[in-house]
Amino acid sequence: MRLTVNGIESEISSPPLTPLLHVLRDELDVTSPKAGCQQGGCGTCTVLVDGEPRRSCLTPVAAVDGASITTLEGVGEPERLSPVQAAFYEKYAAQCGFCTPGMIMAATALIDRKGGPVERDEVLEALGGHYCRCTGYVKIVDAVMAASRGEVGDVQDLPVSEAGEPSVEVHGSPA
């Protein structure tokens, strides 16, 4: 089986019924999709399959053979965040961050599908089933609406290594 994950084509050796989540995390070392409930109810494992949000814990890898998969690592770069990533940062929409990758992926799909500003009820529907235990969702919804309206700037104040410090590039999160 072949998958294109974040623009990189890979040959998959996992059995066909292996959940996409496990292929991404264990075989391809893509760790932004989180293993939450593993029953499709929490949204932490959401990725885009050919542009549509899917719960990777419920998706057998055989069902996406040949598909284009996008995870948080493929949406933006550390030097240039996507509008949704920048909005989450600027609006303080993330707390512990465990649910954030899935929410950003669902929000990205909503904004891409809509092609312009989204309303609060559309955001609530798109993020339905995405659980966050840390926030009251107000900042999350505000961030998605701001991103859809282009009300975010280039984030310039991200931490950088000081002279002499080793350069470390973190891909996703080990959690």
pLDDT, average across residues 109-123: 97
- Note the pLDDT of residue 175: 43
CATH class of 83-148: mainly alpha
Residues forming beta bridges with residue 55, ordered by sequence position:
46
Give the SS3 label for residue 26: helix
pLDDT, average across residues 123-152: 93
Separation between Cα atoms, residue 132 and residue 111, nearest integer Å: 20
pLDDT tens per residue across span 78-106: 788 999 999 999 999 998 989 999 999 99
Separation between Cα atoms, residue 45 and residue 98, nearest integer Å: 10
Separation between Cα atoms, residue 45 and residue 101, nearest integer Å: 8
Token output for 16: 């066909």
Cα–Cα separations (whole angstroms), residue 138 to 23, 106, 132, 135, 145: 33, 16, 11, 8, 11
Q: Which of 39-43, 120-124, 147-151, 162-166 has the lowest mean pLDDT?
A: 162-166
Could you tell me what percent of the chain has a pLDDT over 90? 79
User: What region, left, alpha or beta, does residue 113 occupy, with left being phi > 0 and alpha being psi -120 to 50 degrees?
Assistant: alpha
pLDDT, average across residues 54-59: 98
Separation between Cα atoms, residue 41 and residue 154, nearest integer Å: 33
- Note the pLDDT of residue 168: 59
Tell me yes or no: is domain 2-74 CATH 3.10.20.30.
yes
pLDDT, average across residues 128-136: 88
- Note the pLDDT of residue 169: 60
Please determine whether the domains at 2-74 and 83-148 fall in the same fold group of CATH: no
Would the pLDDT of 112 be above 60? yes
Average pLDDT, the chain: 91
pTM beyond cutoff 0.85: yes
Each domain of the chain, given as residue ranges in start order, spans 2-74, 83-148
Separation between Cα atoms, residue 119 and residue 145, nearest integer Å: 7
